[in-house]
Structure 1
Amino acid sequence: MHKSLVAAIDQGTTGTRCAVFNSSGKMIGWAYKKHKQIYPKEKFVEHDPIEILNNARFVLRQAVRNAKAGPKDIASIGITNQRETAVAWNRRTGKPFYNAIVWQDTRTDKYISKISGGELAEYIRSKTGLKISTYFSAPKIRWLIDNNVKFKEALKSGEAMVGNIDSWLIWNLTGGESFRTDYTNASRTMLMDLEKRRWDKDLLNFFGISEGSLPEIVSSLSKEGFGKLKEKGFQNTVINSDLGDQQAALFGERCFSEGDTKITYGTGSFILQNVGKKVSKGTSKLISTCAYGNVDGTCNYALEGSTRIAGNIFGWLINKMKMFKSIKEIESYFDSDYESSVYFVPAFGGLLAPYWDASARGLIIGLSDNSSKKDIVKSAYEAVCMQVSDIFDLLKPAKNEIKVDGGVSRNDHIMQMQADLLGRKLLRSEMQEATAFGSAISAGFSAGIWSFEEIKKFYSRGKIFYPKQNGKDINRRKVYWKKAVERALNWLN
C-alpha cells in the first residue's frame, strides 16, 4: 500500500471532511467534523479559523486511520474549500486577526450599494467576471481594514497575510513555507484579472489591499504542488491540487468538455458550466469564473449561477421554526400529487443569481386557512428547484444531460421535481462525495498517479431522472414563483 493512496481535505461551510481513495479511485476511508457557526449580529456569519485548522488536521489523520493505512501510504493530497470566505492572520505569529468572514455574510451590503454604480461595476465585471456583491472576498477584506486596527497596521508593516480558507490551510499545513492559492479561489476574490490570472493592481489600490499580503496565484493542478506537508508522519507529502469546492465538484463529475454542466445541492445550490479555454461574457446576471487550472498552466473557464439557500432551508424549518424534528419527518409530509398554492422564497440573507439583491428577504406566501405542513414542505422542495430553474433559464446548456450531486441530490422527490422544471435528464452519480473525489483525482492526476483517460473512466452513474410533468402546469408554477420573488426583492430598501 506504500505511497499508493490519495487524500482530499474538503473544508466546507458546515464542517471539514477528508476522504482517502485507492489506486482504483475507490473511497476506502472517510472522516468528518463539524465546526461552530458564529452569528455575532444580523448579517454577520463567521467561522473560527483555528477550529477549522484543527479539524482539518484531525480528519486527515482519522480518514487515513479509517482506511487502515498510515501517513506514509499517502502519495498526494488535494485541498478543496468553501469559496469567498476570507481570513486574515499575522505572518510572524500565525494568529488570525479576526474570525473568518463567511461567503454567506452580508455585513458589507451598504458598502456594496455605495460602490455598485457606474464605471467601477463595469470595470470589475470586465476584469474579474464577477458582479459587485457581498458574496466575494474583497469587500470582506475591506471591512477588516476599516474595523480591525491590528490588521490595518499589519498591512502597513508587511506582517499581514490574507486569503481564502485554502491559503490559510496550505500555509499552516506546510509549516508556513507555502503561501499560495489557485486560479479558482483567486477568481472568487473580486481582485483577480480573469484572463491574465494575476492580481489586478487597480482593484488592489481601490480596496486598499497590498499585493504582498495576498497569496501567490498558481494553477489549480500542479506537479510541483502547493508545498509539502510538515505534519508529523506526513512530512514531504505534496499538496498537488487546490480547487474551490464547486470547481472540485465540476472536476469530480468529469465535466471536462465544453458545455458540460453540473448542479451541486449543498448549503446552497451551485450551477457551473464548462465553457472551455476562453472567458465567456455570457449574461450580466451570471458570473464568469475559473473552472480549473490545468497542469500546463492553462485554464478552463466556467459560467456560474449560485443560490444562498438549498439544504439549509430544511435546517431552518427544524432548528429555527421548530416545525419539524428531523429531515425524516419533513420527508413524511411530502406528497408529489398534492396541489399547493403556497410559495416559499428563502431569501434569508438576500438573493444571489440571477437577482443579486442583498436587500431581499424571505417570505412564505399564498397561505389560506386550509394550508398545512404539507404546503410548507412542498413549497420548500419547490423553492430549491425554482431557484436553480431561474439560473438554468439563462445558462441554457446545449446538452440534455445534467450531472447532479450534493446532499440534497440524494432526495429523489426533489430531483424529480428539478428534472420536471428543467425539462432535462438529470444524472446522479453513485459517488456521494463528488467534491472530495474531484479534489482527489485532480491531485492524483497532477502527481502522475492516474492518466487523464483513467480518471475519465472513474465515473459511476447512479439514478437517472427524466422529466415527466406537464409543461403547462410547470409554466403556471413558474409565473407564480416569479410573482413571489418580486414581493421579496428590495425588501430592506
Structure 2
Amino acid sequence: MTGLILAIDQGTTSSRAILFDADTAVVAVAQQEFRQHFPRSGWVEHDPEDLWRSTVETCREAMKTAGVDAGGIAAIGITNQRETTVVWERETGRVIHNAIVWQDRRTAGFCQKLKADGHEDMVAARTGLLLDPYFSGTKIAWILNNVEGARGRAERGELLFGTVDTWLLWRLTGGRVHATDATNASRTLLYGIRSGEWDDELCALIGVPRAMLPEVRDSSGLFGETEADLFGGAIPVAGIAGDQQAATVGQACFRPGMMKSTYGTGCFALLNTGETPVPSKNRLLTTVAYQLNGRRTYALEGSIFVAGAAVQWLRDGLGIIGSAPESGALARQADPAQEVYLVPAFTGLGAPYWDADARGALFGLTRGTGPAELARAALESVCYQTRDLLEAMRGDWPEAASKETVLRVDGGMVASDWTMQCLADMLGAPVDRPEVLETTALGAAYLAGLHAGIYPEPDRFAEGWRLQHRFDPQMAEAERARKYAGWQDAVRRTLTA
C-alpha cells in the first residue's frame, strides 16, 4: 500500500488521525479525547502536551490499523482548532502556560478597552476580524502579562507563539520549523489579510513582539519532515489549514459563491468570495479561505458558538436524551402548535450579533411544553442561526444574493435527517450532504496530497465531490417568515447591547 495521505485533525475535544488513499477513501481512523480545563468561569484551557501526545498516539494507531509504515505515507496534512494559543520556550520547547482555547473569554475586558479607544475599525480593515476574545492576539498578550518574566523573555526572542498547527509542526519537525499557513495566521488579529504579512502596528497595539510569530506560508507546500523516530521514518508535512478552512477545501468550495457550513460544537459557515476580500457591514468576518501558489482566496465567515453544544445540553444538562442521535426523533414528536424558541447564548452570541454578555433564554413555554418541544427548539435554533448568517452574507456581498444558494454541510449534526430538512426549510434553499463526511480531515489531506502529487488541481478534485443526499425546502414561505420573525423577536429580547 503506497501513496497514502495522513491527515491530523486536532480538534477542541479530541485528536484524530485519518489515512486517505489516492481516491480519497478512508483507510483507517484513530481518535483520542483529552481533558478540558476550566480554571474559572469563562476560561477554557488545554494542556499542550495532551494535544501533542494524543496526536502522535492516534497517528501511530491509524498506521498500525492500516498496516502501513512511514514509507507508505506520501505526506501529512494538519488541520486544527483555530485561535487556540500556545506559547513555549524556543530553546527547550517547554510551554509556559496551558493553551488558551478559542472559546475562552478572559480577554473580554481588554477587547472592550481597545474598542473604547477607537481601534475596532482599523483592526477590522486590516485583519477582517472584530475585537473579540475569540482570536489569538489578546490571548498571547494575556500570557505575556500574567506569566512572570514572560514579556521580557518574549521581547528577547526566547519565546515562540503558535496556534495548534504551529505547535504540532514544531514538535513533529524536532523544533526545526516554526511556521503556519495563511488561514491560521488570519485568525490572530495580527495578520494583514491584504498584505499577507504580520502587521507591526497591530503587534504593538495588542502587545505581541514580532519575534514570537511564525513564518506564514501557503496552505499546500512542503513545511518540513517529521523526526524519523516518531513514526519509523521521516514523513513530509505538506499541508496546513485551520479546521473550518480545511472543511471548505474538503467540500470543494473552490468557486466564488459556494458555501459550506460545519456543525460541530459550534457552527461555522464560510462563503467563498474569490480573490478579493469582502468587508462586512453585518459583523461577519473576512478571512483567508486558503492560499495556493502565493494567491489568497477569501471568504466571509459566520461563527455560531452553540450548535452541537445545544444537543449536549439536552443530554448532559437536562438529561432528556441519552445520546445525541435521539434528539431528531424526539423533536419529531413535538406539538406543532407550540412555538418554543431557545436562544442558546450559553457563552454569548456570535455572528452577526457578537454579544459576549448575552445568556441563553427560552421563550414561548406553556404547561404543555415538554422534552419534545425543548429538543425541537434546540435543533431549530441551529437552523435559525444559520439563516442569520446567510442573510448577513447576502447583505455584505450582493453577488451572493443574486445566486441560488446551495449549502454544503458536514459535522456530527448533519447525520440527522430531521435537522437537515429543518435547515433547508428555514433557509428556503437546498442543503447538500456529501458522501464523505470527514470533510475537515479530507481538506487537510487534499492540501498535502496536492503538493505530493497524489491529488489533482482544485477543478479536477471538485469533479470528484459526491452527493449523498439533497434536502429541498418543503415549508411554505408564509410559515417560514412567521417562524423566523419569532426567532428574531426572541433574539432581540436576549441581547444585552
Q: Look up the match of 1:97.
A: 96
Counterpart CA distance in 2 for 1:356 and 1:227 is 38
Answer yes or no: is 1:237 the counterpart of 2:243: no
Counterpart CA distance in 1 for 2:368 and 2:253 is 45
Q: Look up the match of 1:422.
A: 427
Percentage identity across paired residues of the two chains: 37
- Which amino acid in the other structure matches residue 56 of structure 2? R
133-142 or 315-324: which moved more? Answer: 315-324
Q: Give runs of aligned pairs for residues 290-439 of structure 1, distance below 5 A.
A: 290-294=288-292, 296-335=293-332, 338-339=335-336, 340-396=338-394, 397=400, 398-439=403-444
- Which amino acid in the other structure matches residue 324 of structure 1? I
Deviation for aligned residue 1:231 = 4.5
Counterpart CA distance in 2 for 1:390 and 1:249 is 21
Q: Look up the match of 1:482.
A: 488
SS in 1 for 2:133: coil
Sort the Cα spacing of 1:72 and 1:124 in 2 relative to 1 into closer, same or farther, 3 A.
same
115-124 or 11-20: which moved more? Answer: 115-124
Counterpart CA distance in 2 for 1:476 and 1:118 is 41
Q: Look up the match of 2:397.
A: none
- Which amino acid in the other structure matches residue 196 of structure 1? S
Q: Give runs of aligned pairs for residues 76-475 of structure 1, distance below 5 A.
A: 76-117=75-116, 119-222=118-221, 225-232=222-229, 233-294=231-292, 296-335=293-332, 338-339=335-336, 340-396=338-394, 397=400, 398-452=403-457, 453-475=459-481
User: C-alpha deviations, 1:317-347, integer Å up to 9, x for none?
Assistant: 2223333322244344222673222111111
Q: Is the CA contact 1:47–1:101 (under 8 Å) kept in the aligned structure 2?
A: yes
Q: Is the CA contact 2:15–2:51 (under 8 Å) kept in the aligned structure 1?
A: yes
Q: Is the CA contact 2:256–2:274 (under 8 Å) kept in the aligned structure 1?
A: yes
User: C-alpha deviations, 1:340-399, integer Å up to 9, x for none?
Assistant: 221111111111100011111111122111111111101001111111111111113323
User: C-alpha deviations, 1:144-170, integer Å up to 9, x for none?
Assistant: 122111422321332111121111000
Deviation for aligned residue 1:68 = 2.3
Sort the Cα spacing of 1:476 and 1:113 in 2 relative to 1 into closer, same or farther, 3 A.
same
Counterpart CA distance in 2 for 1:198 and 1:303 is 20
Counterpart CA distance in 2 for 1:173 and 1:122 is 38
82-91 or 112-121: which moved more? Answer: 112-121
Counterpart CA distance in 1 for 2:261 and 2:420 is 11
29-38 or 479-488: which moved more? Answer: 479-488
Q: Is the CA contact 1:228–1:235 (under 8 Å) kept in the aligned structure 2?
A: no
CA RMSD of aligned residues (A): 1.5
- Which amino acid in the other structure matches residue 327 of structure 1? A
SS in 2 for 1:349: coil
Counterpart CA distance in 1 for 2:488 and 2:243 is 29
Q: Is the CA contact 2:155–2:211 (under 8 Å) kept in the aligned structure 1?
A: no
Q: Is the CA contact 2:379–2:419 (under 8 Å) kept in the aligned structure 1?
A: yes
SS in 2 for 1:25: coil
SS in 2 for 1:227: strand
Counterpart CA distance in 1 for 2:75 and 2:326 is 41
User: C-alpha deviations, 1:188-245, integer Å up to 9, x for none?
Assistant: 00100001111000011111111111111111111xx111111523543111111000
Sort the Cα spacing of 1:380 and 1:150 in 2 relative to 1 into closer, same or farther, 3 A.
same
User: C-alpha deviations, 1:11-34, integer Å up to 9, x for none?
Assistant: 111111111111222111111111
Counterpart CA distance in 2 for 1:359 and 1:270 is 20
SS in 2 for 1:116: helix
Counterpart CA distance in 1 for 2:410 and 2:59 is 23
TM-score when scaled to structure 2? 0.95
Counterpart CA distance in 2 for 1:329 and 1:466 is 23
Counterpart CA distance in 2 for 1:38 and 1:162 is 20
Counterpart CA distance in 2 for 1:150 and 1:404 is 46
Q: Is the CA contact 2:328–2:419 (under 8 Å) kept in the aligned structure 1?
A: no
194-203 or 146-155: which moved more? Answer: 146-155
Deviation for aligned residue 1:115 = 1.3
Deviation for aligned residue 1:65 = 1.6
- Which amino acid in the other structure matches residue 424 of structure 1? A
Counterpart CA distance in 1 for 2:365 and 2:115 is 36
Deviation for aligned residue 1:422 = 0.5
SS in 2 for 1:217: strand
Q: Is the CA contact 2:311–2:379 (under 8 Å) kept in the aligned structure 1?
A: no
User: C-alpha deviations, 1:298-332, integer Å up to 9, x for none?
Assistant: 11111110111111111122223333322244344
Sort the Cα spacing of 1:401 and 1:336 in 2 relative to 1 into closer, same or farther, 3 A.
farther
- How many residue pairs get matched? 487
- Which amino acid in the other structure matches residue 96 of structure 2? F
SS in 2 for 1:124: helix
Counterpart CA distance in 2 for 1:487 and 1:154 is 47
TM-score when scaled to structure 1? 0.96
- Which amino acid in the other structure matches residue 58 of structure 1? E
